[in-house]
Structure 1
Amino acid sequence: MTRLILTAFATLVAIGLWAGTMFIGTSEGWWKSPIVASDSADDFNKMVREKVEQEHIGNFGFILIENGEIAGRWTVSSGLPVDQNSVYQVASLGKWLTAWGVLALVEDGQIDIDAPVSKYLTRWQLPESQFDHSGVTIRRLLSHTAGLDDSLGYNGFDQQSDIQTLEASLTRAEDASPGKSGIVKVGLLPGDEWKYSGGGYTLLQLLVEEVSGLSFDDHMKTRIFEPLGMMRTTFDHEEALKMGLAENFTPTGTTEPFRWYTALAATSLFTSPADMAKFVQVQVPGGSQSVLSQETLAQIATPHASTMGADIWGLGAMLYAPNNRGGFIIGHDGNNEPAINTAVRFDPDTGDGIVILETGSSLLATELAGEWVFWKTGNVDNLAFAVVLESAILWAFVGGLILLLIGLLIGWRQSLGLLKQKRVD
């Protein structure tokens, strides 16, 4: 009987060790290799271009930045020609720039980042809940820790005429992503945990309009885009159409119009690869820009939220991985239906970065940006980890099942041995 107990214990320990090894090994990149063996920017640039030209159907804009300088730039198109000034709808990537627009109001003394957002709103308020809404601060909205449980996700509208007002969208978004209620409300204790909230950024869009007295796009233009020289960046869909948009490819290689959104701040920025490279370059160490102070830039890259023990969010920017210098690789990604995928990564300590804007694939930009992070730091990008986590769980389950079957087989044989021993006795 003692041997059976020891076998059962050993089997459980083995299953736990196997599952832990799969989880930690995946998060630490134990069985991952850099996309290129050298540290040459030219080699990385060449490898990515070859992969894109072989695998991608659609439009693709790429810029590699080393020490604040452009180290590679190119475009690929399956349709009408595109270049570095071609304009793409970049989905949630716009949240990073929205955060700059909000933080500019903080620096201008118009809002207190730690004040309840309700203090500045007259057109709409969060519906009543069991929680104290004074904890729904601007800082927490920026870092997805305000307790909003909408998990939006907007699918947009086919026609401009279908767009809701901001207030109506916050009450119930008619273009909520599948499985989401579209209702922006407090469903968790503010400040208690991180939960992604597109609705929180729609609420920040309303805040910007109420405080600045301007439309959201006009505030972003005058306070952020124009001072940074980002002249092909806008939240105005009609203006973007006049600029000339890169075609919106689907995974099958067909094209369709970009969708219209009420939730501009959360998901409908239009910009070019060249403008996003400017946005990165003004943030390099010693860079010159008059929009935000160095103290505020440092706060953007400071951990404000974590999950599963990893720091994942600053103020409007994602924290993708440690940069091995005490800070983080920061940036943002974006995904909109049917196959818009954008990704920007930036190391504030070195001035290195990567910009990828594309249509035609739902994950290629994120995948390649994650490869850049691993190539630069040897650390697995948080989003890259999330993408392969399902596979790691599957391997953990399969390996655990095999170990369980082995344990059962050993236990069965031990039981037969005990029965034989009893018969002999």
Structure 2
Amino acid sequence: MFSIVYKPENWRMRNNICSKTCFFSAFIIVFSGIIFSCSTASLLQNKIPYKTDSLYVEIEKLGHELTLKNKVPGVAVAVIRDGKVAWLQSIGYADLASKKPVTSETIFNIGSISKLISAWGFMQLSEKDLVKLDDPIDQYLTRWHLPESEFDRSKVTLRRILSHTAGLSVHGYGGSDQGIPLLSLEESLNGKTKRNGETVHLISEPGIKWDYSGGGYTLAQLLLEEKTNQSFATYMKNNIFMPLGMKHTNYEWTVEMMATSATAYDENGNPIKNRIFTEKAAAGLQTTVKDLAHFAELSIKPNYHQLNKVLKPSTIKLMETPVLPSSNEGESGLGYRFMNYEGFRTIGHTGENAGWSAAMFLDLPTKNGIIILCNGSNGDRVWFPIYQSWLKTIK
């Protein structure tokens, strides 16, 4: 079994925009007046007063301390117990300048967690018999083809792409500045969106080893567009998000979403513009903690009626099953990654983009889970200690 080791760096406290005292006081005001409204309602619905839930109280304390220390203005958390959302919690600011608080309806970019959710769209193609999981993907394409190489491109299949065992290049993407016209998928696959010009191509024989590839998901995005004659974002909205009731989830930065979006902040706590992605399937999804928590519920307990014919429960179970080979670097199902932080095996994904950081951990045997969304580049220093607190309640 592979192991992911998290080694936080020793960082000294840097000067905040205002003093810690002022910033912390502002947090407390928001906390008492606004932030807990949705969390309290959820807890009371489950007949658990939030003040008696030790994890809720611990995360509240941690959230305030860690966001201040690491210059991450806000964090949204969802905890799932027995396959259902137990409570939602929002701490800090969606935007510092306007003092807009984070709520359960605040939009966050979730980085590579996008891949996990994109996989639902790709697997729907399989259920519709538009593609076969183990057929050569190149035979379905007309707009672009994998370049010839010393490796056998006929072994590049959708199953291998979704499990990072297809031998493809391009680990990840950085996105583009707003206001610049997005390049096409074909241009991206040809390396035009990468500063180093890295193209999507075979770097090892497919099916031989696990090697994380955002480039593979961009190739799958092209496959979906070719087989459906729709843009990826449109197809996912109409065939995945709307049927699941995820009304605040989109691969596009729509005007409506921008109005309720958090502001992204860099590692120094400075606001930055949202990056936009040609490679939407790999890194370009925007959502709320509430929508993502519902998605996590369906991952833990695939409910036939709630799935609304998006996918079969048996398909989701297949996606949550490890695909060989794995390696010391990683192990995946179809979209879902297996993770081993602190020696505890979970399934889900993490995500990092400039100004954003997110994590989703699901423990299928106990039907527990946690989701943490942050609007700062240092967000991993916030979500990891919160994960550790959650883990103590599972172990």
Q: TM-score, with normalisation over the residues of structure 1?
A: 0.73
> 1:27-38 alignment to 2 at 5 Å?
none
Secondary structure at the aligned position of 2:180 is classed as helix
Secondary structure at the aligned position of 1:161 is classed as coil
1:95 Cα deviation (Å)?
Answer: 0.4
Match of 2:339 in 1: 320
Bigger Rg over Cα: 1
Q: Distance in 1 between matches of 2:346 and 2:3?
A: 20
Matched-pair contact (CA < 8 Å) for 2:159–2:334: yes
Give the RMSD, CA atoms, in angstroms.
Answer: 2.8
> 1:8-407 alignment to 2 at 5 Å?
42-56=53-67, 57-78=72-93, 79=96, 80-151=100-171, 153-176=172-195, 181-239=197-255, 241-285=257-301, 287=303, 288-289=306-307, 290-305=309-324, 307-308=326-327, 312-321=331-340, 329-337=346-354, 339-360=355-376, 361-364=378-381, 366-368=383-385, 370-371=387-388, 374-375=391-392, 378=395
Deviations 1:131-187 (A, max 9, x none): 111100000000111011222x211111343421110010014245xxx54210001
1:224 Cα deviation (Å)?
Answer: 0.7
Matched-pair contact (CA < 8 Å) for 2:135–2:158: yes
Matched-pair contact (CA < 8 Å) for 1:344–1:369: no
1:370 Cα deviation (Å)?
Answer: 4.3
Deviations 1:68-118 (A, max 9, x none): 233232112242222101111111111000000000111111110111111
Deviations 1:214-234 (A, max 9, x none): 110111011110111000000
1:250 Cα deviation (Å)?
Answer: 2.0
User: Number of aligned pairs?
Assistant: 337
Secondary structure at the aligned position of 1:200 is classed as helix
Q: Distance in 1 between matches of 2:186 and 2:332?
A: 27
Q: Distance in 1 between matches of 2:3 and 2:299?
A: 33
- Distance 1:376-1:96 versus aligned 2 partners, 3 A rule: farther
Match of 2:47 in 1: none
Q: Distance in 2 between matches of 1:249 and 1:354?
A: 23
Q: Distance in 2 between matches of 1:301 and 1:336?
A: 25
- Distance 1:372-1:114 versus aligned 2 partners, 3 A rule: farther
Q: Distance in 2 between matches of 1:292 and 1:61?
A: 28
Give the letter aligned to residue 168 of structure 1: E
- Distance 1:165-1:311 versus aligned 2 partners, 3 A rule: closer
Secondary structure at the aligned position of 2:234 is classed as helix
1:251 Cα deviation (Å)?
Answer: 2.6
Q: TM-score, with normalisation over the residues of structure 2?
A: 0.78
- Distance 1:181-1:374 versus aligned 2 partners, 3 A rule: farther
Q: Distance in 1 between matches of 2:320 and 2:52?
A: 25
Deviations 1:39-91 (A, max 9, x none): x9922222222112012131211111111233232112242222101111111
More helix by share: 1
Deviations 1:7-39 (A, max 9, x none): xxxxxxxxxxxxxxxx99997xxxxxxxxxxxx
**Structure 1 gap segments, 5+ residues each:** 1-22, 28-39, 379-425
- Distance 1:314-1:372 versus aligned 2 partners, 3 A rule: farther
Matched-pair contact (CA < 8 Å) for 1:301–1:328: no
Matched-pair contact (CA < 8 Å) for 1:157–1:163: yes
Matched-pair contact (CA < 8 Å) for 2:165–2:206: yes
